Structure 1
């Protein structure tokens, strides 16, 4: 049974890793870009050019895994230290990309807009729980060929927190690096104090896309950290057995790391899994299942064994609304990764299998994060916390029988107990009289309005002009290429 930080025994974890090495060496990876295949061949891989297949010798896989740093720091837009990724450090953030969002004003699902994205980023700046920001809402009202650059601009304008970006090709990657360099003060600063990281997805089963190869090459030039994300669907694009799916996912991640490390040894990386199951009854790709939660712990354990930072989804749900199912799935998928010490967890604010973002869900999820963290903190045991003298004074025959007025209670109740924000703990009678129509979504919406009103972070107008210029130049390049 799994009750601790480790899902598997060390022996079982090594079996999975060994199986992965066999997959890479004997079955290989389909690498879609010719330049990457040539570079991998120079590094010692065997390449079948006709099949676009690359076979990775285990010595190269192990060497490049050792080259990846065990941990690294991320900085805010003011070049101040913000978070560490690796070791036992745990960080939380949002996930991308949702083409839709739940409009809290009229309770309808709408296609993503730049305005809705702006509100999301402002909330993320104001909320304490998110440690890194991935722009969740896709602004479909912006030109589709440079939408990712508008998302980058929005992130840089409205939050100082580290950003997760999703480059679509070489040009896009270069532009996103340039935009971050503008705000951070140059490429050298960005290299020494990383503020951004690229989210690069693998393609299952056992494939590496050409755009991923392009983004990796651009990232390596200035040591932009890469968040490699593998998301096979059990029973559809990977084996239905969880061990087989995890092993395949691990192979895809290691293959991408090889390419990054041969370009830039020591480039920071997070190996992340979104391994899911394909529900045969509903024909959907699910993220709110016990199996999803287990696979977060599995990949994290493999990362710990390899001494590289671990990442993946968490606080996710298949529910299409904020209901009981939403709650248990968010908690379940969140606690599994955090208990295993997954270094970077993404998923706040998402519902409907990552297809819809909700601003009020973001606020609610932050409370769920606090609950999970409090459970995992455990109970401190020392003389002060055992409180023998307090029990003796108040609980004995001569005592008052009440601990309400003691200095000990006043000292500890605010720190020992997790304060709630949007949770309702009133009695039924109080709830019926005062808050029956004020459900958790409305309480979250009330907090949203206050946070948005209090948001004050901004960047200089001259920097915004430079960002707009980069976007305009890239849009022009894309449009001319279409002619």
Structure 2
């Protein structure tokens, strides 16, 4: 428990203080965080990262980074410099240009998982391909859910030409919502067009950011041409970037939690460093979407205890450097809205709120980030509210001692006492 103290005025002593117990979750000691960080620095310095984009390679070469056998080596002093340059908080704005939330410290915001390729209707047990109309409906529901704080481009509309799908996902949200947006592009040109769309609505999207753009390295230790181009284009314009390594334990990352965590951290650090070399001070959110390969069936699972441990640990590494954080939780690997969906989503939401993860993607999702459900989204809104309330703890109000004495001595009831009524 973390306990903070705020002095109050009480009959039982002016110096008495208000105790505010707040439940928290911690996994790594300071020494363990520093060891893991050191291992990631060694990976970046000795093995390096493959980057499939000449423009980015030219930027890194001009900054003095070496390029050998198709891999860029990241010296530790450059990585440490980049961490110092990265802002410690990111402020998001609503569509009307007002500050909406600051991503830092103990802030926890939920948003639907992004880019689902299927949607599960309430009268069916089989997902279907989403349509643009589904995205309109989904975004409208998100707008009115109290505990789903951010929008996301949650569905891929299949009734739109494939080359336009990343752009068109942004349109319904810009049209009907005021909440900030977690989004991303599927193509190099897509991110440019999406930034133009944002500019039409809010002006310069880097000055009062309405949207955060996801970029995902390709494990192990590689950036594809599309994702690194998106990162560079966003960094140049000061657009908030959410870096989301996706280690698959046993497939594209070591099968052990520690090994996957080191790889995850190295990939995130490479993205942070590139962004700061492009534009020092670029706003970054350190995120992730770890999963594990089920060797029996060849399927990927995202809500196992092992993946929750990886996520909790990398968030602590990010917080070690006071960086804004992100993860995928409050979703489920199941194919239906059933007991498993409730358990996995509830555990994830509680872990996220106790660990104070700033951006939590996942509500509404099943089938390991592949399918969205409006019904589950509404249920998850309640789950998120429950977890948020629990994580706030309670006020151990010493003034209540005065109330107990008054009720007992006066023969009153707590129900009618002004302390209860307020």
Query: Does TM, normalized by the shorter one, top 0.5?
Result: yes
1:391-425, CA deviations, whole angstroms, 9 ceiling, x for partnerless residues? 7635x8x957x6445444443xxxxxxxxxxxxxx
Q: In 2, distance between residues paired with 1:332 and 1:97?
A: 23
| Corresponding residue to 1:35 among 52, 55, 59 | 55
Match of 2:275 in 1: 260
Given that 1:83 and 1:131 are in contact with CA atoms closer than 8 Å, whether structure 2 keeps it comes out as: no
Q: In 1, distance between residues paired with 2:268 and 2:189?
A: 23
| Corresponding residue to 1:346 among 354, 361, 364 | 361
Match of 2:388 in 1: 373
Q: In 1, distance between residues paired with 2:338 and 2:402?
A: 42
SS in 2 for 1:383: coil
Match of 2:134 in 1: 116
The Cα of 1:227 is off from its aligned counterpart by 0.5
Matches of residues 449-468 of structure 1 in structure 2 within 5 Å?
A: none
The Cα of 1:154 is off from its aligned counterpart by 1.4
1:134-185, CA deviations, whole angstroms, 9 ceiling, x for partnerless residues? 111111111111101110111111211111221123311110000000011x
State the TM-score, normalizing by the size of structure 2. 0.90
Q: In 2, distance between residues paired with 1:355 and 1:212?
A: 20
Mark the CA change 1:407 to 1:113 in structure 2 (over 3 Å): closer, same or farther: same
Q: In 1, distance between residues paired with 2:124 and 2:318?
A: 44
Q: In 1, distance between residues paired with 2:339 and 2:294?
A: 20
Given that 1:321 and 1:351 are in contact with CA atoms closer than 8 Å, whether structure 2 keeps it comes out as: yes
The Cα of 1:112 is off from its aligned counterpart by 0.8
Q: In 2, distance between residues paired with 1:222 and 1:81?
A: 19
Match of 2:90 in 1: 72
Q: In 2, distance between residues paired with 1:169 and 1:319?
A: 30
Q: In 2, distance between residues paired with 1:263 and 1:389?
A: 60
The Cα of 1:267 is off from its aligned counterpart by 0.8
Match of 2:119 in 1: 101
1:241-274, CA deviations, whole angstroms, 9 ceiling, x for partnerless residues? 1111111001111111111111110010101011
SS in 2 for 1:171: helix
Which structure would you say has the larger RCO, counting Cα contacts within 8 Å and 6 or more residues apart? 2
1:314-346, CA deviations, whole angstroms, 9 ceiling, x for partnerless residues? 112112112221112112122222212211111
| Corresponding residue to 1:202 among 205, 217, 224 | 217
Given that 1:300 and 1:337 are in contact with CA atoms closer than 8 Å, whether structure 2 keeps it comes out as: no
Residues 293-302 or 230-239, more deviating: 293-302
Number of equivalent positions = 400
| Corresponding residue to 1:14 among 28, 34, 46 | 34
Q: In 1, distance between residues paired with 2:161 and 2:326?
A: 31
Residue 127 (structure 1) aligned with residue 145 (structure 2): yes
Q: In 2, distance between residues paired with 1:296 and 1:399?
A: 53
The Cα of 1:33 is off from its aligned counterpart by 1.0
1:412-465, CA deviations, whole angstroms, 9 ceiling, x for partnerless residues? xxxxxxxxxxxxxxxxxxxxxxxxxxxxxxxxxxxxxxxxxxxxxxxxxxxxxx
| Corresponding residue to 1:139 among 148, 157, 170 | 157
Q: In 2, distance between residues paired with 1:324 and 1:391?
A: 46
The Cα of 1:111 is off from its aligned counterpart by 1.0
Matches of residues 208-287 of structure 1 in structure 2 within 5 Å?
A: 208-287=223-302
Q: In 2, distance between residues paired with 1:21 and 1:269?
A: 19
Residues 18-27 or 275-284, more deviating: 275-284
Given that 1:74 and 1:83 are in contact with CA atoms closer than 8 Å, whether structure 2 keeps it comes out as: yes
Q: In 1, distance between residues paired with 2:179 and 2:259?
A: 36
Could you say which structure has the higher helix fraction?
1
Q: In 2, distance between residues paired with 1:123 and 1:391?
A: 48
Match of 1:393 in 2: 407
SS in 1 for 2:40: helix
The Cα of 1:78 is off from its aligned counterpart by 0.5
Match of 2:17 in 1: none
SS in 2 for 1:230: coil
Given that 1:253 and 1:271 are in contact with CA atoms closer than 8 Å, whether structure 2 keeps it comes out as: yes
Residue 24 (structure 1) aligned with residue 44 (structure 2): yes
The Cα of 1:379 is off from its aligned counterpart by 2.3
Matches of residues 78-97 of structure 1 in structure 2 within 5 Å?
A: 78-97=96-115
State the TM-score, normalizing by the size of structure 1. 0.79
SS in 2 for 1:192: coil
Match of 1:325 in 2: 340
Given that 1:296 and 1:337 are in contact with CA atoms closer than 8 Å, whether structure 2 keeps it comes out as: no
Match of 2:18 in 1: none
1:12-59, CA deviations, whole angstroms, 9 ceiling, x for partnerless residues? 0100000000010011111111221221122121102xx321111011
Given that 1:191 and 1:222 are in contact with CA atoms closer than 8 Å, whether structure 2 keeps it comes out as: yes
The Cα of 1:88 is off from its aligned counterpart by 2.2
Q: In 1, distance between residues paired with 2:326 and 2:418?
A: 43
Given that 1:293 and 1:332 are in contact with CA atoms closer than 8 Å, whether structure 2 keeps it comes out as: no
